[in-house]
Structure 1
Amino acid sequence: MLISMRTTVGAAFAGCMMSVALSAILGFQTFLYFQIFPGDAMRYKLLVGWIWMLDAAHTLTICSSVWSYAITNFGDADYTTQIVPSLAATVALTAITTLSVNAFYGWRIHKMSKSNWWITFPIALLAITRVALAFVTTTEMILTKTFPAFAAGFNIVLTCGMSISAATDIVVSTSRYYYLRNLKQGYTGTQEVVDAVVVFTINDGCLTCAIAIAAIVFLLKMPGNFIWLGIYFSIGKLFSNSVLATLNLRNWYRHRPRPMGIPMTRAQPLATHTVSSGPPASSDKRTMDPQRMEVFVDQQVEYNVAMDSFMAMGDDDNISEHSRKSVNVR
């Protein structure tokens, strides 16, 4: 009985606490976004508001589900085999959240790839298939009402849905990495900025993919407990925080000492020609000898990230180079 409570109600409760913590982080990120970027395009504001509302509903369904198992039916070990409706709703809300996030990233990739449908169409297809399987899972959970009955015929549907979610993460992260890698070629001064975005992209995709795979493994190996469920609770939260972190990272770049690039100044002598019949001038003292002419080129190259688009969404857009040269003749 004790072991059963630890691996069922205890695992679900731990997952609930983690989800609430991630939801609090998302709420803070949402607050920061509207405080820092009040002038953003309306589509980004609507996206952030939509993500926050989905996350709030997702948190409520998770807490309601855990309350049913841990409080309302405390001590009833048999009740842990029941599927409460709010628990089934978490599957649908997770799928809607992942669809919203993947649609955002798919749209960005579509712009970066210059409307290359060979890349964006598979992303859209995978995301829609994931949602379809999630709604089938939610419906069957409500109809079967118990985990044993659901596992007998529909565990494969839930497993396929999470597998497609992991595959979508891999495709999206790989595509973003590919175009970001090409973006920074030839712009040495902005590689620091682009490299930071690349690292974030890879880590973000790897994390969500790893969480989905872990949930699949525990579902297949330990279908009789809630460890997989506690892990599954956090998937939607990670996707939501990913979008907000992508948008809010713009403020970090903006307030750095060198916010949008690395200015580099160098001076080098191009030629020195001396016309003099007398002794050479001292090496440590320059004079305005009219017979002595030195030509120096002071070249200042400033690399900027020209980003209305980068500053509008936080990553991945075009980079432009601007250079200025001045020539002094003495």
Structure 2
Amino acid sequence: MIADTLHQALIAHTVYTYLITNFGNALELGNTVWSLLAEVLVNGFTAVFVQSFLAHRVWQLSNGNMWISIPAYLLVAAEFVSVFVFAVIGLTRVHTFVELAEILKGLSITVNVLAAVGDTYIAGLLTLLLHTSRTGFRRSDSIINKLIIFSINTGALTSLCAIASMLSILLAPETFIYISFFFCMGRLYANSLLATLNVRSLIRKEGSSNVQASGDTGSIPLGAYNTSVFNPPSAISVKIDTRREYVSDQEEQKHSESMRSQMDLA
């Protein structure tokens, strides 16, 4: 929330500088404003927070499998380092948009490539881990299916935005089209995180309602026995509660007579 609010404040400062402070001054439109370049750094903070949260989910669902978790963390770290270098160079060496296109074009492409690859990798791993965690129970599998769809949707939005920004730099480097896509990424990350947190309560309510409807009092936590391709299944024990009833001879005789009368009617 702090990063998103700061991002909006920087946007307001940039717009105010160009449209109010320098109203009618066309020459000033060629110069960069410090708040415009600072937005890149704030976007980087938002991205690293959200991607780290999702990468941690990969680590949890894989039961701490470092072989697949470490690449996710490395992609997140590499993207943030690239954004940080971009912001530092932009704030210290860049004063016009011509210099911005000449000096930072390579870093801009790198940032967008890392963002697209990182989002796709994390979303793909979450989808695979959830898919291979199916239990065979309709209630839990229904919840897993919704989590898979949600993981794909959230990862696809940020990935497509990063790809659009990268293609804009390559195909139209003399325009500011790529800036519009890049600055949308921070908002998409923030909203995807909020949606991820909010959907938990909906899924829990659905799970509890299904439990009450079916009369099943057991819970099926995903992390309790995640049997994905990265974690072979271990021994599974099943507990069955039984009930023994004692019936008297008279009650047994009445039951037999009742059954015979039903057979006769049939």
What is the Cα deviation at residue 75 of structure 1? 3.2
- Give 1:114's aligned residue: 63
- Give 1:63's aligned residue: 12
Q: Is the 8 A contact 2:50 2:189 kept in 1?
A: yes
What is the Cα deviation at residue 72 of structure 1? 2.2
- Give 1:219's aligned residue: 169
Q: Is the 8 A contact 1:113 1:179 kept in 2?
A: yes
What is the Cα deviation at residue 248 of structure 1? 1.3
Q: 2:155 aligns with which of 202, 205, 213?
A: 205
1:276-291 aligned at under 5 Å gives the runs none
- Give 1:102's aligned residue: 51
- Give 1:241's aligned residue: 191
- Give 1:175's aligned residue: 125
Cα separation, partners in 2 of 1:77 and 1:222, compared to 1, 3 Å: farther
Q: Is the 8 A contact 2:61 2:223 kept in 1?
A: no
**Normalising by the residue count of structure 1, what TM-score does the alignment of the two structures yield?**
0.64
d(CA) in 2 for partners of 1:197, 1:321: 26
1:312-323 aligned at under 5 Å gives the runs none
Cα separation, partners in 2 of 1:246 and 1:153, compared to 1, 3 Å: same
What is the Cα deviation at residue 185 of structure 1? 3.6
Gap regions ≥5 residues in structure 1: 1-51, 265-299, 310-319
Give CA-to-partner distance per residue, 1:123-171, whole Å, 9 cap, x none: 1111111111111111222212111112113211111111101100011
Q: 1:156 aligns with which of 84, 106, 109?
A: 106
Going by fraction, where is strand more abundant, 1 or 2? 1
User: What residue identity is the alignment partner of 1:102?
Assistant: Q
Going by fraction, where is helix more abundant, 1 or 2? 2
d(CA) in 1 for partners of 2:119, 2:56: 14
User: What residue identity is the alignment partner of 2:94?
Assistant: T
Q: 2:35 aligns with which of 70, 86, 111?
A: 86
Q: Is the 8 A contact 2:72 2:118 kept in 1?
A: yes
**Normalising by the residue count of structure 2, what TM-score does the alignment of the two structures yield?**
0.78
Q: State the secondary structure of the residue aligned to 2:197.
A: helix
User: What residue identity is the alignment partner of 2:219?
Assistant: N
d(CA) in 1 for partners of 2:58, 2:176: 36
Q: Is the 8 A contact 1:97 1:239 kept in 2?
A: yes
Q: State the secondary structure of the residue aligned to 1:183.
A: coil
Q: 1:304 aligns with which of 207, 211, 219?
A: 219
Cα separation, partners in 2 of 1:235 and 1:323, compared to 1, 3 Å: farther
Q: Is the 8 A contact 2:113 2:162 kept in 1?
A: yes
Sequence identity percentage: 27
Q: Is the 8 A contact 1:89 1:138 kept in 2?
A: yes
What is the Cα deviation at residue 301 of structure 1? 5.9
- Give 2:228's aligned residue: none
Q: Count residues in correspondence.
A: 234
- Give 1:45's aligned residue: none
Q: Is the 8 A contact 1:189 1:303 kept in 2?
A: no
190-199 or 168-177: bigger deviation: 190-199
What is the Cα deviation at residue 230 of structure 1? 1.8
Cα separation, partners in 2 of 1:102 and 1:206, compared to 1, 3 Å: same
What is the Cα deviation at residue 101 of structure 1? 1.0
Q: State the secondary structure of the residue aligned to 1:167.
A: helix
Cα separation, partners in 2 of 1:184 and 1:307, compared to 1, 3 Å: closer
Gap regions ≥5 residues in structure 2: 225-236, 248-254, 256-266
Q: Is the 8 A contact 1:163 1:213 kept in 2?
A: yes
Q: State the secondary structure of the residue aligned to 1:194.
A: helix
Q: Is the 8 A contact 2:52 2:73 kept in 1?
A: yes
1:4-23 aligned at under 5 Å gives the runs none
Cα separation, partners in 2 of 1:195 and 1:71, compared to 1, 3 Å: same
Q: State the secondary structure of the residue aligned to 1:224.
A: coil
